[in-house]
Amino acid sequence: MNLRIRSPLHEDQSLTLPAEMAELSVSFNGSVCSEMGDEYAIKNNIADLLTRDNRYTIAQSTNHWKITAAVYEDIWRVRSLSLLSGELFPIEKEKQLLRKWMEPVPGNLYLDVGCSTALYGRTIKKNEPGCHVVALDFSLAMLQEARLKAEASEVSLFLVRADAREMPFYANTFDGLMMGGTLNELSDEMKVLYECRRVLKKDGVFFMMHLIESETWYGRVLQNSAQWSGIQFWTLSESNALFERAGFRIADQFTKGIVCFTKLVVS
Ligand SMILES: C[S@@+](CC[C@H](N)C(=O)[O-])C[C@H]1O[C@@H](n2cnc3c(N)ncnc32)[C@H](O)[C@@H]1O
């Protein structure tokens, strides 16, 4: 499937990402161009639609380092929920929940927002090879690592470098969105949530995993010290208020320690 997206510079102009770009067993290089002449490179299957230099928080900056991208999933991510929730929470359990709430359908289109190495995007595509998945991040290093991992697991993905605050997609494009841990790292969370609402279809599902404020004093000390790097934590009711303000309704939710899983639908 070719993917029709919106030019990041001209809202009334479209770009078409070719289906071959998502086939990661073959390196795809080229560019896409709108009728206005704005052109975007596709290098080794990654479409670069980032149009401006950003000021990054410290936490965001570290995601642009090759070393972070290389160790992120295998060293940290597979253990992170057990460490953060304080109880055994194997990655397989998280993937199961993702598959259960997302229920991917052949032909449908899904977006992994702030994908890092595209753990969620790969899981959905592996579960339902007939669906289409876009993985978006503004870190090239993370997308390059996502590409390696997806190719190794023989999964096809559209890899898009863009800012989640201004997504290069038309309204009502996606049947489902996934966001794993990214909310806490955003510097403009409402803008991203509004963008998520805009690109999600009215009957779509949004799988959210984020971290909430700790209830223990020592947990709060740790979280307060992480805030200097730009990571934010909300109480459960504060983050639920953010989701509702962005136009979502909570269809399901549970917490394990500071880890919170939420199934959002359009309100
Ligand atoms: C905690 S990691 C995400 C992990 C991943 N979703 C997972 O489940 O393993 C946050 C990611 O969001 C990306 N990110 C943060 N702010 C972003 C933005 N405004 N636009 C695009 N990506 C962003 C970072 O580059 C980083 O890769």
Residues 131 and 124 sit within 8 Å (Cβ to Cβ):
yes
The residue ranges of every structural domain in the chain are 55-266
Cβ < 6 A, ligand 1 pocket: 60, 63, 77, 114-116, 119-120, 137-139, 142, 163-165, 180-182, 185-186
Ligand 1 mean position, distance from CA 146 (Å): 12
Angle (nearest 5°) at CA 147 between 141 and 149: 105
Atom nearest to 54 CA in ligand 1: 19
Ligand 1 mean position, distance from CA 36 (Å): 30
pLDDT computed for residue 84 by the predictor: 81
Ligand 1 mean position, distance from CA 13 (Å): 27
Ligand 1 mean position, distance from CA 84 (Å): 18
Ligand 1 mean position, distance from CA 66 (Å): 14
Atom nearest to 186 CA in ligand 1: 16
For the chain, the average pLDDT equals: 94
Q: Is the domain covering 55-266 a CATH 3.40.50.150 domain?
A: yes
Tokens of 235: 């109480």
Least confident of 45-59, 178-192, 235-249: 45-59
- The conformational region for residue 185 under phi > 0 = left, psi -120 to 50 = alpha, else beta, is alpha
Please give the average per-residue pLDDT across 151-165, as a whole number. Answer: 97
Atom nearest to 112 CA in ligand 1: 6
The four Cα atoms 139, 142, 144, 150 give a dihedral, to 10 degrees, of -140
The single-letter DSSP state of residue 14 is E
pLDDT computed for residue 162 by the predictor: 97
Reported as a pLDDT band with limits 50, 70 and 90, residue 227 is: confident
Report field, pTM of the whole predicted structure over 0.85: yes
